[in-house]
Amino acid sequence: MADSAASFDRLGATVPSCPVVVSVPHGGRDYPAAMLAAIRAPVLALRPLEDRHVDTLARAAHHDEAMLIQRVPRAWIDLNRSEQERDPLLDDGVNPKHQSAPSLKLRSGLGLVPRRVGAVDEIWRGRLRATDVTARIINDYRPYHAAVAAALRAARARFGCAVLVDLHSMPPLGVPGEAAQIVFGDRFGRSAAARFVARIEAEATAAGIGHALNTPYAGGHILDAHGAPARGLHAVQIEIDRRLYLDDAFDQPGAGLAATAALLRRMFAALADEALAGRSAIAAE
């Protein structure tokens, strides 16, 4: 269901019935009127920033997990960046003297508010006022992260541990059968216990889908912010090749959507099973 005061939808019961929480931060396609008035690029040119219809895929895979789906687009604000990754070339609210060394993403124009994308050198007509960017952080960014954190805490309180799946989609990495079509990320082992990654890797293998771990996508800020294995909070990123669920134009859901959603559904179930099995093992000791 949608919260009228929030820019995201939350699916699943408030009292968790599953230790898995799903985050879908880059599927938003609701471009605010204020953004349409402020950009110089056509909306179609911003499509590369979207994880196109990954929200549709997530809804098709949903069962009883808490699921957070952002509705506003990544071009408005990127939930998978730190609040500190504000672009000094775009954002009047940045004081370079107080900013740490910029990340590669920020230097590439893909900070908290993206400045450029693909062949579009400048998304915005002009610089953004500090108050406008701060408003996006307060109204869109922080509520999403707070909802993810609350869902994880509730799941851990009930089941002893919680597992966050941060769901994304990616352009093809190469020829099917030769290149991975699913990339799992766990921040090189820092955001989740290896047993969780092993379970979802096994599901991909059983489905005959080539997969990789942490290359070229290891996960980003969402995993850093919410993954804390030592505290029973595990977080993994799943990147899905868009060929698996979109049409040939990479625009609309395609013939593979149902099969890909069923695979995701099995992955969510495997993670839940592993979380509950781990709790049972601890209780038996």
Residues 213-257: tens digit of each pLDDT? 999 999 999 999 999 999 999 999 999 999 999 999 999 999 999
pLDDT of residue 1: 43
60-64-67 Cα angle (round to 5): 70
Buried b (16+ CB within 10 A) or exposed e, 185-211: bbbeeebbbeebbebbbebbeebebbb
Q: What is the pTM of this model?
A: 0.94
Q: Collect all residues with Cβ–Cβ distance below 8 Å to 133 and sequence separation of at least 6.
A: 86, 91, 93, 112, 113
pLDDT of residue 222: 98
pLDDT of residue 284: 44
CB 285: neighbour CB atoms within 10 A? Answer: 4
**What is the C-alpha to C-alpha distance for residues 123 and 106, in angstroms, rounded to an integer?**
15
Beta bridge pairs of residue 136: none
Task: Identify the segments of the chain with pLDDT beneath 70.
Answer: 1-5, 98, 279-285
Altogether, the residues listed in the chain come to a count of 285
**What is the C-alpha to C-alpha distance for residues 27 and 240, in angstroms, rounded to an integer?**
13
